[in-house]
Amino acid sequence: MATCGEVLVQLLERYGVERVFGIPGVHTVELYRGLARSPIEHVTPRHEQGAGFMADGYARTSGKPGVCFIITGPGMTNIATAMAQAYADSIPMLVISSVQARSQLGGGRGKLHELPSQSNLVAGFSAFSHTLLSADELPAVLARAFAVFQAARPRPVHIEIPLDVLVEEADELLSSQPIELARPGASPAAVAQMASRLAAAKRPLILAGGGAIDAAPALARLAEQLQAPVALTINAKGLLPSAHPLLIGSAQSTVATRALVAEADVVLAVGTELGETDYDVTFAGGFEIPGALLRIDIDPDQAVRNYPPAMALVADSALALEALHAALAEQALAPRRADWGSARAARLRADLEASWDLPMRGQTSFLQTVLEELPDVVLVGDSTQPVYSGNLTLNLEQPRRWFNSSTGYGTLGYALPAAIGALLGDSREGAARRPVVCLIGDGGLQFTLAELASAVEARAPIIVLLWNNQGYEEIKKYMVNRDIEPVGVDIFTPDFVAAATALGCAAGRANDAKALRAALRQAREAQVPTLIEIDQQVWMSGVAAC
């Protein structure tokens, strides 16, 4: 006899699930029945929030949904922050939890791990939450979940299974097969209309976001066809390589880039919600699109939010861009202004580079040192100063190599568990795993420090670059700038090297480029995670002296 829990594991296998992140508990043991016999690997974090962040990082490098097994009650409240971060960034995540038996749902009897309604709890940060009231529903609800991941705006999905349903006999479900959906293409009539608008543009510009993450070749072809400068959001870094002549980077919050956007007569926004933290990190307003705005988005609701378009295509980004490229090949393009395209993009990049202040240059030199030593690195960031600088100044060669929690939902402590998931998800066929670097501050690391033990246990030799400024320095500056006497920002700083060593990692310090290069070379060959601590004051004093 196969129980619902056992059948679930087999159906997940058929959907291509390779890893599950979770912490077994008395209410989830039936989810684990059969897992030991499955090729699915289990990774045990030290906190359910860590499970969610690992699943997030796994999804970003693999392109597949990260899957979590989570216990009733505190497990769900613990993973809530990670689900909300994934929801904000459109990351596919499948959270499967237990819940009280059907006869006790919402009973308020003080049962172990009881909540009034887990489903209501996660409704605001999931594509949907479903309570499985019969084992027979399992194939259909899994098909719904993977339909979201395959063919819609990807976001977390929550499925909760009552304790009595988990043990139901479900042999008849073993014959169920996965359902695969193709992503939607654009209407030919709408493509023709949008192509006509782009063909008539004299100063076209493209804004591309994380929704275009799998559309890099199509984006480059269309940009070159139009001779349109391209700005990328933080989650879209790498869609054009760093040396591409049309790339203007990810500095939409700067005065210079805003001026360029204002010059454009037609702006094509692809896979971006045009949200505050990508276009207005100063939170002071001022980002405007005076030209005709055209939008491509897989989500019709998002296609008209924030900045209403002159017209929109609701479609997969790659399919829409390919269709536009083909339609434009049959049309005569209006003559472009002589100083537009690559010339205007080059001038902007030079202006931006000249405007960076000493802290930004110092933090960028730190990141460039990492890239020079580890050219294929995946950089997973927290809310910390080098990440803020890199969001503006750094360009990558491929997508899925730079992501962080400093935008959108903006949680602290994300980078360490997400880096673990990112390394486990980086299984490109025929290629060795790329090094994965966690960029995190001393404040953020204390949120999830225990996950270093998870990395050791999972044999995930990530490299943790700890930018230590002895507290919450960015918030301290913000308070001072607003005439607020700093409170709560000068926190105790432990000996991170000793703590990392105690948790089974290699650890050391590097306060200049030479020492950092040597430490990175050693860490790349290590079989265990490595923590490298950088003292901000010492690093920046060395930069200032140059």
Q: Which of 152, 175, 198 is the last residue of a domain?
A: 175
Q: What is the pLDDT of residue 283?
A: 53
Q: What is the pLDDT of residue 432?
A: 74
Domain span at residue 439 reads: 356-545
Please check whether residues 504 and 364 belong to one and the same domain: yes
Q: Which of 137, 154, 175 is the last residue of a domain?
A: 175
CA 17 vs. chain centroid, Å, equals: 19
Q: Measured between alpha carbons, how far is 94 from 64 in angstroms, rounded to an integer?
A: 10
Report the sign of the C-alpha dihedral through residues 129, 68, 58, 407, in that order. positive
Give the tens place of pLDDT for each residue, 153-206.
999 999 999 989 999 888 888 888 999 999 999 999 999 999 999 999 999 999
Directed axis angle between helix 341-355 and helix 255-263, to 10°? 160
Q: What is the pLDDT of residue 331?
A: 87
Q: What is the pLDDT of residue 40?
A: 96
Identify the weakest region by mean pLDDT among 103-107, 207-211, 532-536. 103-107
Give the tens place of pLDDT for each residue, 197-206.
999 999 999 9
Please check whether residues 147 and 264 belong to one and the same domain: no
CA distances from 377 to 27, 60, 304, 401, 433 (A): 39, 14, 36, 7, 10
Q: Which of 175, 207, 238 is the last residue of a domain?
A: 175
Please check whether residues 144 and 229 belong to one and the same domain: no
Share of the chain above pLDDT 90, in %: 77
In a 3-state reduction of DSSP, which class is residue 93? strand
pLDDT bin (cut points 50, 70, 90) of residue 477 is confident
Q: Measured between alpha carbons, how far is 156 from 122 in angstroms, rounded to an integer?
A: 10
Q: Torsion angle, CA of 464/234/90/213, rounded to 10 degrees?
A: -100
Q: What is the pLDDT of residue 544?
A: 64
Given a cut of 60, is residue 108 above it in pLDDT? yes
CATH code at 513? 3.40.50.970
Does the residue 82 lie in any domain?
Answer: yes
Q: What is the pLDDT of residue 430?
A: 54
Identify the weakest region by mean pLDDT among 111-115, 141-145, 361-365, 496-500. 111-115
DSSP state of 236: G
Does the residue 30 lie in any domain?
Answer: yes
Please check whether residues 348 and 361 belong to one and the same domain: no
The backbone torsions φ and ψ at residue 409, rounded to the nearest 5 degrees and listed phi first, read -65, -40
Does the residue 230 lie in any domain?
Answer: yes
Give the tens place of pLDDT for each residue, 110-153.
777 778 888 889 999 999 999 999 999 999 999 999 999 999 99
Q: What is the pLDDT of residue 8?
A: 95
Let me know: does 412 contact 405? Beta carbons within 8 Å. yes
Does the residue 181 lie in any domain?
Answer: no
Please check whether residues 39 and 165 belong to one and the same domain: yes
Give the tens place of pLDDT for each residue, 421-465.
999 999 755 567 899 999 999 999 999 999 999 999 999 999 999
Query: What is the chain's mean pLDDT, rounded?
Result: 92
Task: Count Cα atoms within 13 angstroms, Cβ side, for 526.
Answer: 26
Q: Which two tokens stand for residue 368?
A: 């460039």
pLDDT bin (cut points 50, 70, 90) of residue 1 is confident
Share of the chain above pLDDT 70, in %: 98
Let me know: does 531 contact 506? Beta carbons within 8 Å. yes
Please check whether residues 31 and 93 belong to one and the same domain: yes
Strands 93-99 and 156-162: parallel
Please check whether residues 77 and 123 belong to one and the same domain: yes
CA distances from 110 to 27, 103, 135, 163, 186 (A): 15, 14, 26, 16, 52
Given a cut of 70, is residue 285 above it in pLDDT? no
Please check whether residues 538 and 491 belong to one and the same domain: yes
Work out the average pLDDT over 498-503. Answer: 97
Please check whether residues 212 and 264 belong to one and the same domain: yes
**Number of structural domains found in the chain:** 3
Q: Which amino acid is at 425?
A: G
pLDDT bin (cut points 50, 70, 90) of residue 281 is low
Given a cut of 80, is residue 265 above it in pLDDT? yes
Sequence-distant (6+) residues with CB within 8 A of 373 are 516, 517, 520, 521
Q: Measured between alpha carbons, how far is 268 from 263 in angstroms, rounded to an integer?
A: 13
Please check whether residues 308 and 366 belong to one and the same domain: no
More confident call, 507 vs 541: 507
Sequence-distant (6+) residues with CB within 8 A of 277 are 406, 407, 408, 410
Q: What is the pLDDT of residue 336?
A: 84
